[in-house]
């Protein structure tokens, strides 16, 4: 019987199951991840965060004593980075005494990140370099029953994003009318060979944006931290603003994104809502 200790948390309602696996012994496979993230059969979440000491991660070449964030999407696929997840991850390490604050260094598949606890309870994350390519693809999705398409900016935040800047809110609002129950498509189709997270954005003020997101591997979620950085960077590129602070509203709340010299920082909340013990179904064996 596999009985694992877990925590459950969210950042602006992007929610995660969290496993602490110091010695790298748990090894959840794709079926395990899908089951843990299943909102009916399992615990439920947009993704899984596994905290493992970096010395047990063969691809990590840095300090092995750091905690490594092994992120998986709800469909079991692996992703390089998760901006909301890393705040929840750091909150758990700090609250449970597994790391000393107020700053925690976290190893990720897209490199080293620093998460700093703020006096107001939020967490500020160094999100690393951000690269934008305006008009890299054409994205399409249904709006009120009709398929529409828009040029999108490709943004690399360690993981891939395609950002559609819709402009000022229209009446009726396209952002609200978008159907994101299925993944938007894009051309050229080979532009994102490993898939992409797609954000749609309206501009509410000079540096105030509202977005919805369809996440690779999870579907529409109520927030995406790397996505908020991607939309701020795409908007900055569009208006020719190299640096500054953007407020980004998502369906699950608000985060703040700072951009300077091609790098980004993101500040937002992280809540832990449950701790428990989960008994996993037996692994299926090949016939």
Ligand X SMILES: N[C@@H](CCC[C@H](N)C(=O)O)C(=O)O
Specify binding-site residues.
14, 73, 83-84, 159, 197, 215-216, 225-226
Distance CA 94, CA 206 (A): 35
Residue number, 132 or 226, with CB nearest to ligand X: 226
Residue 28 engages ligand X in binding (rule: CB under 6 A): no
Q: How far is the CB of 217 from ligand X (least distance, A)?
A: 5
Residue number, 139 or 224, with CB nearest to ligand X: 224
Residue 84 engages ligand X in binding (rule: CB under 6 A): yes
Binding residue for ligand X (CB under 6 A) from 174, 201, 211, 224? 224
Instruction: Give the DSSP letter string of 14-45.
Output: EEEEEEE-TTS-----HHHHHHHH-TTTSS--
User: What are the structure tokens assigned to 286, written together?
Assistant: 């090949």
Residue 73 engages ligand X in binding (rule: CB under 6 A): yes
Strands 131-143 and 263-268: unpaired
From the annotation, which residues make up the binding site for substrate? 14, 73, 83-84, 159, 197, 215-216, 225-226
Instruction: Say whether 37 is catalytic.
Output: no
Q: Spot the catalytic one: 43, 82, 115, 162.
A: 82
Residue 12 engages ligand X in binding (rule: CB under 6 A): no
The alpha carbon torsion through 228, 50, 13, 279 (nearest 10 deg) reads 160
Nearest residue to 253 (alpha-carbon basis) of 50, 9, 11: 11
Distance CA 5, CA 192 (A): 36
Q: Under the rule (CB under 6 A), what is the footprint of ligand X? A: 14, 47, 73, 79, 82-85, 159, 197, 215-218, 224-226
């Amino acid at each position: 019987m596999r009985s694992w200790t877990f925590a459950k948390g969210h950042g602006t309602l992007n929610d995660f199951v969290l496993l602490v696996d110091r010695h790298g012994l748990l090894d959840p496979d794709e079926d395990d991840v899908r089951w843990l993230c299943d909102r009916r059969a399992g615990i439920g979440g947009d993704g899984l965060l596994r905290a493992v000491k970096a010395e047990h991660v063969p691809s990590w070449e840095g300090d092995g004593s750091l905690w490594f964030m092994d992120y998986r999407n709800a469909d079991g696929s692996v992703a390089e980075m998760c901006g909301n997840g890393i705040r929840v991850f750091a909150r758990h390490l700090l609250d449970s005494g597994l790391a000393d604050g107020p700053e925690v260094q976290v190893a990720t598949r897209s490199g080293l990140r620093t998460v700093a606890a703020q006096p107001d309870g939020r967490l500020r994350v160094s999100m690393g370099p951000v690269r934008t390519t305006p008009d890299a693809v054409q994205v399409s999705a249904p709006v009120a029953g009709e398929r529409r398409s828009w040029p999108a900016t490709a943004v690399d935040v360690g993981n891939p994003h395609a950002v559609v800047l819709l402009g000022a809110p229209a009446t009726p609002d396209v952002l609200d009318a978008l159907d994101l129950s299925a993944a938007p498509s894009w051309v050229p189709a080979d532009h994102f060979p490993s898939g992409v997270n797609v954000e749609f954005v309206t501009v509410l003020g000079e540096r105030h944006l509202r977005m919805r997101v369809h996440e690779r591997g999870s579907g529409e979620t109520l927030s995406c931290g790397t996505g908020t950085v991607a939309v701020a960077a795409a908007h900055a590129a569009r208006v020719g603003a190299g640096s500054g602070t953007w407020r980004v509203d998502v369906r699950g709340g608000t985060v703040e994104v700072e951009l300077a010299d091609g790098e980004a920082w993101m500040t937002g909340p992280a809540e832990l809502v449950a701790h428990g013990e989960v008994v996993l179904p037996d692994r299926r064996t090949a016939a």
